[in-house]
Structure 1
Amino acid sequence: MSQSQVIERRSPVGRAEGQNPAGTDFIRIDSARKVFTQRSGGAVPVLDSIDLSIAENEFVSFIGRSGCGKTTLLNMIAGLEDVSAGRITIAGKVVTGPGQGQGVVFQQHALFPWLTAVDNVAFGFRKSGLAKAERRRRALELLALVGLEAAAGRYPREMSGGMQQRVSIARALALDPQILLMDEPFGALDELTRIELQQELLRIWEARRKTIVFVTHSISEALMLSDRIVLLAPNPGRIKRIFPVDLPRPRLRTDPTFNALYQAIWNELST
């Protein structure tokens, strides 16, 4: 496929074009705006007129330059940031805070240094009402899911960055969230570990069938993982283009269509 053909397949930015291909809304963002108030009293618009729908079990990535509002938008879906105008709904219910089926994984692992891997994951079950033995059993199952059953007794300081992020993913899965929100979770890792964790995440996604919203600065990472890529432009943040990624998995970085999509996204980022 030529680059021009790929560009012709881009989605523009209106309400209808922001709808997911399945036509069913699991996460729906309607005319969402975010304004931060400065200490001086001035208002700083961060996001403006965001319209987007995401289907259940869809994998969507947000990409764009620093400062375009990717993380802010993710935090609004998570219920960690209020919406200044418009609204966000999950399964038809307005997001008013955390605890509506959202699990979050940040770039920094945020593990408790005084807890072992299994205890960090078991911490995710703290409000489940389960007995301690059952929490531990389920935590061990999740560590096995991310390939870390042998490291259950290690402390964060005894694990590599990639292992720490796997524990973070396992902990986010502890309460079986419907949605996994991931803010550059592999951004601080070396390239080889990053690729390995991309493959691991896809394996988990296919096994557990979560809706995943993923923030990244890497075009190739977004292409490897996503069903759709939402490109945000800055000042204030807004959706510029939506790229469907109609490539079978597992994907190859040497695929001509992959490279044509990469170039099309790069061209949009550069203008």
Structure 2
Amino acid sequence: MECDLYKLMVARMKPFSETEIRNLCFQIFQGLAHMHKKGYFHRDLKPGNLLVSKNTVKIGDLGMARETNGKPPYTQNVTTLWYRAPEVFLRSSFYNSSVDMWAAGAIMAELFTNQPLFQGSSEADVMHKICRVLGTPTESTWFSGLDLAENISYRFPDFPGVRFSELLPNASSDAVNLIASLLSWCPCERPTAMQALQHPFFHGCYRVPPTVRLEDTCCNILNSVPLVFRIARQRELLKGTRSLRSCASGSERVDPSEDPISKLRLNPFVFLK
């Protein structure tokens, strides 16, 4: 891999386009979906741990990874401050893969502005900035969080919150909606990586061109198996395909002389709709 996402953002000196952000995040969420499905979560997701080479991005540095069904208590010294979920700040003895989704939301927002959303110098400073953006949590937005704060005698600063559409004026409504859901106070309200992949923001990533015609029997098979298909199944169903739109490598044409499955190896989690 050529560099990490942090170095790429510094070198660019300007925000990414929404198409570029969609391509990058589509791959990041696929990696997280695979990791979480296998029973692990990363716990240290940040631009510096996302490796980039041309249009391909991979999740690296699994030194802080842990099994999702591991026994608590979990350490609090995880994730760079700017991407750390609020439940970790509040010393929750148990957290899960939703901390990765919070970090992914913060990274996604940063890609639109080229500035960290919660850039603070300390835990208290970062929590202060989170409250300024999300607004002070209430019983309806994060009841358990109020208990966590009380347990450590922490008092949330009083802020009304800011609309994400105002923070991210260059982002589409779908992008804003996804980021807002990922950065929910309550961990259970954040979408899983698989749910994020089904968000309208990524719908353009699932198009199969009209040249691919599936028989009714094939459609029935697709409806009865998981969304993530084996390479062998992809080869069978995409036989004869001349082009494929893939957010893993941007919109591109596939040479008819090439085996179309070779283009899918960069993006093993291809969905057909």
Q: Greater Rg, structure 1 or structure 2?
A: 2
- Asked which structure has the greater RCO (Cα within 8 Å, sep 6+), the reply is 1
TM-score by length of 2: 0.28
TM-score by length of 1: 0.28
Name the one with the larger helix percent.
2
Name the one with the larger strand percent.
1
